[in-house]
């Protein structure tokens, strides 16, 4: 996906840059399925493949917001499906606190989103990406926590 991609429509001139942390056992395969099934979804996400949603340190999210991403999507396995038994359960608690903290200091709720997408849910993956892209587009470019360059 090239960085300099032109906006497709004139009425949506600004395209957000979104980073997606995807669990390799489910959401990453879900994204792959969406691809091979030729399901269309916005090209705004940049995927980072992680071994488990439990691998995601809240600092990753903060650092992404600080360094130019307008939105962050984190996606892992449905409860009960974790390859490592409990990685997503532990992550769920961590994310709940992270989300609370971010919203409390004033980062808009739509900027950082979480989802469960299994390897068979290509359709759902596309829907999630559409929703996140739409939400971040509505919010506009990230201004909070962003480090001036």
Partner 1 sequence: MASINEQLREQARKLLADKVVDLIIGYRKGSLPLRSTPYLVKTEEEAGSLIFDLTSSNNLAKYLPRVKTENRGSKIGIVCKGCDGRSVVQLIIEGQVKREDIVIIGVPCEGVVDTRKVRKKTGGEEVLRVSLPVLPGSGGREIMVEGRGFKITLDKEEVLCDVCLGCQHPNPPLYDLFIGRPREGSSARDEFKALEEFERLSSDERWRYFEHEASRCIRCYACRDACPLCYCEQCFVDETHPQWFGKGPDSSDTLIFHIVRALHTAGRCVSCGACVRACPVGINLNPLWVRIEKEVKERFGYTAGLSLEVTPPLATYDENDKQEFIL
- Residues near partner 1 (CB under 8 A) are 58-59, 62-63, 66, 79-80, 86, 89-90, 92-108, 113-116, 128, 131, 144-148
Rounded to a whole number of angstroms, the minimum distance from the CB of residue 2 to partner 1 is: 27
Q: Tokens 């996140």 label which residue?
A: 132
Residues 6+ apart with CB under 8 A from 49: 22, 24, 28
Between residues 2 and 128, which has the closer beta carbon with respect to partner 1? 128
Between residues 17 and 92, which has the closer beta carbon with respect to partner 1? 92
Q: How many CA atoms lie within 13 A of 61 on its CB side?
A: 23
Alpha-carbon distance 77 to 111, whole Å?
21
- Reported as type and span, the H/E element at residue 114 is strand 112-116
Alpha-carbon distance 143 to 64, whole Å?
12
Rounded to a whole number of angstroms, the minimum distance from the CB of residue 143 to partner 1 is: 9
Between residues 39 and 62, which has the closer beta carbon with respect to partner 1? 62
Rounded to a whole number of angstroms, the minimum distance from the CB of residue 67 to partner 1 is: 9
Between residues 4 and 80, which has the closer beta carbon with respect to partner 1? 80
Backbone angles phi, psi at 41, to 5 degrees: -150, 160
Rounded to a whole number of angstroms, the minimum distance from the CB of residue 76 to partner 1 is: 9
């Amino acid at each position: 996906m090239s960085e300099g991609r032109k906006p497709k429509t004139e009425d949506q001139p600004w395209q957000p840059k979104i980073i997606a942390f995807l669990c390799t056992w489910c959401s990453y395969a879900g994204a792959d399925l969406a691809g091979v099934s030729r399901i269309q979804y916005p090209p705004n996400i940049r995927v980072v493949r992680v071994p488990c949603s439990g691998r995601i340190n809240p600092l990753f999210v903060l650092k992404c917001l600080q360094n130019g991403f307008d939105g962050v999507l984190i996606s892992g396995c449905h409860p009960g499906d974790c390859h490592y038994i409990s990685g997503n359960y532990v992550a769920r608690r961590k994310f709940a606190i992270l989300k609370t903290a971010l919203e409390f200091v004033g980062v808009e709720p739509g900027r950082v989103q979480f989802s469960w997408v299994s390897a068979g849910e290509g359709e759902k993956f596309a829907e999630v990406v559409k929703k996140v892209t739409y939400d971040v587009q509505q919010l506009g470019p990230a201004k909070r926590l962003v480090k001036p360059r």
